Structure 1
Amino acid sequence: MPEIRINKDESIDSALKRFNKVVQQEGILSEVRKREFYESPSVKKKKKRAEAAKKRKKR
């Protein structure tokens, strides 16, 4: 779980922005979205292959 320290003179808005930045960097939201619904192993394989092909195509 990401944790940030809030300084005395810091506003809640800036602290919230820092927290959101940390959450984005750690990939927490994407992981939650990925686990939101059950995917069968075959669907996982297809997505993994598609992602690999997309990366190869980019190069």
Structure 2
Amino acid sequence: MQVSVRDNNVEQALRVLKKRLQREGVFREMRLRKYHEKPSERRVREHAEAVRRNRKAARKQAIREGLIEAPKSKRSAPVRAPSLVRGG
């Protein structure tokens, strides 16, 4: 993996690198490899991950087909500015 540093902005390059590593799952894999995992525990974990992926895919498909309603976004709620005058 390669990240270019522009205008000597190393901080931005580090942020980009961390984001790419996160997206690739490198940090997660490092955490899993930190300790030995028994083969039976690995099978159970991988099965649970597969179930989670399948449920997520089925939920997205149902939303696309209109069978269920999409969850409401938290960002869509109007943000109220704090009042400068405090009521007593």
TMscore range, shorter length: 0.7 to 0.9
Q: Give a deviation string over 1:9-42, Cα, whole Å, max 9, x none.
A: 1422111111112211222111111111101111
Equivalent residue pairs, number: 57
Q: Higher helix proportion, which one?
A: 1
TM-score under structure 1 length normalisation: 0.73
Question: Percent identical across equivalent pairs?
Answer: 30
Q: In structure 1, which of residues 39, 48, 53 is the aligned counterpart of residue 37 of structure 2?
A: 39
Query: What is the rounded CA distance, in whole Å, between the counterparts of 1:40 and 1:15 in structure 2?
Result: 37
Task: Call closer, same or farther: CA 1:4–1:57 in 2, change over 3 Å.
Answer: closer
| Structure 1: 5+ residue stretches without partners | none
Which consecutive residues of structure 2, in runs of 5 or more, have no partner in the other structure?
59-88
TM-score by length of 2: 0.54
